[in-house]
Amino acid sequence: MSMQDTVQKVLDAATADITQPNAVPGAVMYIADKTGKQVAWAAAGVKQAGKPDPMTPDSVFWVASCTKLITAIACLQLVEQGKLNLQDDVTKYLPEMAEVKMIDGSKPKRVPTVWNCLTHTCGLGYSFFNPALKALEDKKGRKVIDAFDASKESIMGPYVTEPGSEWEYGMGIDWAGQVVERVSGLSLNDYFQKHIFAPLGIKSASFLPKTAGLADKLVGSHYRNPEGIISPNEHWLKQEESKIEVHYGGAGLWANAAEYCQILVALLNGGTHPKTGGKILTPESVEELVKPQLDEKLAADMDREFPNTDPTLSNYFEGCTVKGVPKNWALGGMRLTVEHPMFKYSDKSLFWCGIQNSYWWADFKDGTCGMIQSQIGPFLDMGTLGILAQIQPQVHAAYAK
């Protein structure tokens, strides 16, 4: 059976009956190899539970934290041009961030660098993973997800750890996205379109999908309750596009799997796509993008717990989903120093995910990349992960040298 047929069979089974345990309403998966060859591209199910509109391979999902990789690429492009230094204090480019305080109201001992922002060592967190930030939202009388309203205020901290002192997954890459805007003079959406998407032929990725004419391709949001029952859910990123003040460099993008993977194909080839010839980075910058960045102490912080302060958004987990496995953070995503225990990503892989269960990988050893998307919450949905766990090890086995 071809990989295309295998993927289609797995997706069809996963979406056949959403009343079954770990079923999903709809899903898309795309897989490619280093040559740019499409290994599989399949879709199954529906875009919105209870509605007949079928999921199609080119359906557009909110990719959430999958945005982070692209913001890191944008930063390295500006480094290549001599316009940005990752070791500069972020306040050199964003002077207003000098006003951000610690969570107790005190002044931080130092301000973070752009590098700190890209590596989650800047001191910022996420309220859905940090109880102290969740408590602040409780005092304001609003839900955690309502804090993500694309306003300027939403990215103004506070710090939950001293900048540079600990690894804390959070909004630092949103700050990095603001740096890209300030240095380039473009909105983050316009920067991505011009300098990353256009060279790779990407046409259906945007921070403003409705404005971009993609409304008919957008996938609906879903929630799986503790009993396993799936229901349609309001989109988590729901601000009207005309009122968006901040393009979240860490979470704001909408895209389809096939086009997102063209970025990964380019990275597997040193920054130049083998089919389009589009170049987004030099080989040296790609090496920097995927290189583990953290010292031993900061890397050890990654094995911390991730409390699910709002269980509708994320399941509880520890160790960045792989507790006890040696790991590090690269500018572009997560690295393991051993093979991934479930998905068989090699120790030369870069990978990450989005909170509504989009997951991507780029394996620099076996030369494959891929993405699975389902748009369901909470994060770490076992139905979506089950699809990936059935397919990705087969891909690795077929291409491993």
User: Does residue 84 lie in a domain region?
Assistant: no
How many domains, the chain? 1
Contact 49, 16 (CB under 8 A): no
Contact 28, 369 (CB under 8 A): no
The one catalytic residue among 93, 126, 159, 169? 169
The one catalytic residue among 30, 47, 59, 68? 68
**Residue 2: its pLDDT value, please?**
95
Task: Reply yes or no on whether 65 is catalytic.
Answer: yes
Q: What is the pTM of this model?
A: 0.97
- The CATH number assigned to the domain holding 208 equals 3.40.710.10
Residue among 179, 165, 188 nearest 94 (CA): 179
Residue among 280, 283, 261 nearest 196 (CA): 280
User: Does residue 317 lie in a domain region?
Assistant: yes
User: Does residue 149 lie in a domain region?
Assistant: no
* pLDDT, averaged across the chain: 96
Confidence band (pLDDT; 50, 70, 90) for 124?
Answer: very high
User: Does residue 138 lie in a domain region?
Assistant: no
Instruction: Note down the domain range covering 329.
Output: 3-65+185-399
Burial 223-237 (b: 16+ CB within 10 A, else e): bbeeeeebeebeebb
| Average pLDDT for 270-281 | 98
Query: Strand ranges (DSSP E) for 242-315?
Result: 254-255, 305-306
**Residue 148: its pLDDT value, please?**
84
Cα 277 from chain centre = 25
Residue indicated by tokens 């979470």: 251
User: Does residue 233 lie in a domain region?
Assistant: yes
The one catalytic residue among 59, 65, 206, 374? 65
**Residue 321: its pLDDT value, please?**
83
Confidence band (pLDDT; 50, 70, 90) for 239?
Answer: confident
User: Does residue 71 lie in a domain region?
Assistant: no
Task: Reply yes or no on whether 401 is catalytic.
Answer: no
Residue among 185, 195, 180 nearest 90 (CA): 180
User: Does residue 137 lie in a domain region?
Assistant: no
User: Does residue 72 lie in a domain region?
Assistant: no
Residue indicated by tokens 């090890």: 393
Q: What distance in Å separates the CA atoms of residue 90 and residue 2, rounded to the nearest whole number?
A: 49
Task: Reply yes or no on whether 68 is catalytic.
Answer: yes
